Amino acid sequence: MASVYRLIRPALRRLPPEAAHELTLRALELGAVRFLGEPAGREPDPPALAQRLWGLDFPNPVGLAAGYDKDARVPGAMLQLGFGFVEVGTVTPRPQPGNPKPRLFRLEEDRAIINRMGFNSGGLAAVVGRLSKRARCGIVGVNLGRNRDTADAVADYAEGVLRAARLADYLVVNVSSPNTPGLRELQSREILTTLLQRLMRAREEAGRQVPMLVKIAPDLTPEERRDIAEVALDTGIDGLIVSNTTLARPNLISRRAHEAGGLSGRPLCAPSTALLADMYRLSRGRLPLIGVGGIASAADAYAKIRAGASLVQLYTGLVFAGPDLIGQIKAGLVDLLRRDGFGSIEEAVGTAHDAMPAQLVMPF
Ligand SMILES: Cc1cc2nc3c(=O)[nH]c(=O)nc-3n(C[C@H](O)[C@H](O)[C@H](O)COP(=O)(O)O)c2cc1C
């Protein structure tokens, strides 16, 4: 059955990307979710897709990546579309407008997006207010960032942990967006150690052992990858999200290919999966990983799971294929698990990590 999304898609395509996105969010806020997506995407998930991680029961491993719902306006609607979990944010402590528009570009021919949003955010108070009003059903993570003009980046993240710990099912320390000057430097060994130790203390102060993950960039040298894996294991954080958008521009053909910002979508799929396998090896399979980058099919999601991801997320695939993709990925995953003789997602995690190249160097 064709979903309503297929009918409205041509009109959305004609709008500037950010206007189309805002229109979609408003429609979802007004309850449009019941007209979107295949009914199949909303049937109860098959038991083979269920997983318990960090004490949370994930009905399926397919999540919405950060950046789609930065201000926690529609997490319930996105869960209703069939996602197994939703990550809201990145949210900064104080509201900020982000970079001047235009700052979001569709690269149709490459099935990719370039964005330089720059953490446009309604701020923590707004996000916390919305989350405290929602019914606690479904898994919602909160992705934390820092204000562009902050004097103390570590204090910004600590404030995020303190204020969001009680309302989030998990927290993400985003040190990998390419559009806030200096942000990615937080991934270096010493700074990351200091940051994470401080955030562990903030979590204790908050009085809730909410799982805390770190989201990393795809553009990391072998040394940086090793350092991050060691820091992650030493500090005792709960997992890694691999990966954010890339600064690389690998063989793109679209007119907009040279816009500044982070690239997501199809060209990011192979390199972010290779990085995932690398992080799985470097952390010796001891850290749950969330694989994100260029997922547009069940095969892409399955490749990330076999490379080492316990869960996956997507954003750009949803923009190009619409919400039917969620149900398609879930159904495809069930078939792929059965084909390969796995009884559950958990059994498949990491089973092909050594089939990936050790380092896939991104062509800048
Ligand atoms: C428009 C846009 C905005 C994004 N904003 C954020 C963000 O605020 N925080 C974050 O951690 N990642 C952000 N991301 C990155 C995504 O969460 C994801 O890591 C990346 O896009 C790769 O996945 P994809 O290829 O499925 O889109 C954004 C991506 C896009 C396309």
**pLDDT > 90 in the chain, percent:** 84
Could you tell me which of 361, 353, 339, 248 has the C-alpha nearest to residue 310? Answer: 353
pLDDT at position 1 is 40
pLDDT band at 359 (very low <50, low <70, confident <90, very high): low
Mean of pLDDT over the chain: 93
What integer is the mean pLDDT of 114-138? Answer: 95
**Residue nearest atom 2 of ligand 1, based on CA coordinates:** 67
Question: What value does the mean pLDDT take over residues 6-19?
Answer: 86
Over range 309-336, report the average pLDDT. 96
Lowest mean pLDDT among 59-63, 229-233, 307-311, 358-362: 358-362
The predicted model gives 122-146 an average pLDDT of 95
Q: Is 3 a catalytic residue?
A: no
Residue 357 reports pLDDT greater than 70: no
Return the DSSP state at 252: -
Compute the C-alpha angle 209/307/60, nearest 5°: 55
- Indicate the length of the chain as a whole number: 364
State the pLDDT at residue 99: 96
Report pLDDT digits (tens) over 172-219: 999 998 888 887 888 788 899 999 999 999 999 999 999 999 999 999
Tokens matching residue 191: 């700074």
Cβ–Cβ < 8 Å for 101, 248: no
Q: Is the pLDDT of residue 39 over 60?
A: no
CB atoms within 10 A of CB 206: 17
The mean per-residue pLDDT over the stretch 256-270 comes to 97
CB-based contact 71:126 (threshold 8 Å):
yes
Give the pLDDT confidence score for residue 37 in this predicted structure. Answer: 57
- pLDDT over 90 (residue 6): no
Lowest average pLDDT, out of 17-26, 33-42, 149-158, goes to 33-42
Q: Which residue has the tokens 């709008």?
A: 15
Ligand 1 nearest atom to the CA of residue 172, by list position: 11
The CB of 99 under 6 Å from ligand 1? The reply is no
What six digits make up the tokens of 109? Answer: 């021919």
pLDDT at 40 > cutoff 70: no
CA 46-349-230 angle, 5° bins: 140
Ligand 1 mean position, distance from CA 363 (Å):
20
3-state secondary structure of 122: coil
Residue-level pLDDT at 271: 97
DSSP codes joined into one string, 189-211: HHHHHHHHHHHHHHHHHHT----
pLDDT of residue 153: 94
Asked whether 174 lines ligand 1 (CB < 6 A), one says yes
- Given a cut of 90, whether residue 258 has pLDDT beyond it is yes
pLDDT exceeding 70 applies to what percent of the chain? 95
Ligand 1 in reach of 263 Cβ (< 6 A) = no
pLDDT at 320 over 60: yes
- The pTM (predicted TM-score) of the whole model is 0.96
**Distance in angstroms (rounded) separating the CA atoms of residues 321 and 297:** 10
The half-sphere exposure of 293 on its side-chain side, counting CA atoms within 13 A, is 30
330 pLDDT higher than 60: yes
Residue 41: pLDDT over 60: no
Q: Of ligand 1's atoms, which has the minimum distance to the CA of residue 87?
A: 17
Residue 361 reports pLDDT greater than 50:
no
**Hey, what are 307's tokens?**
């490379």
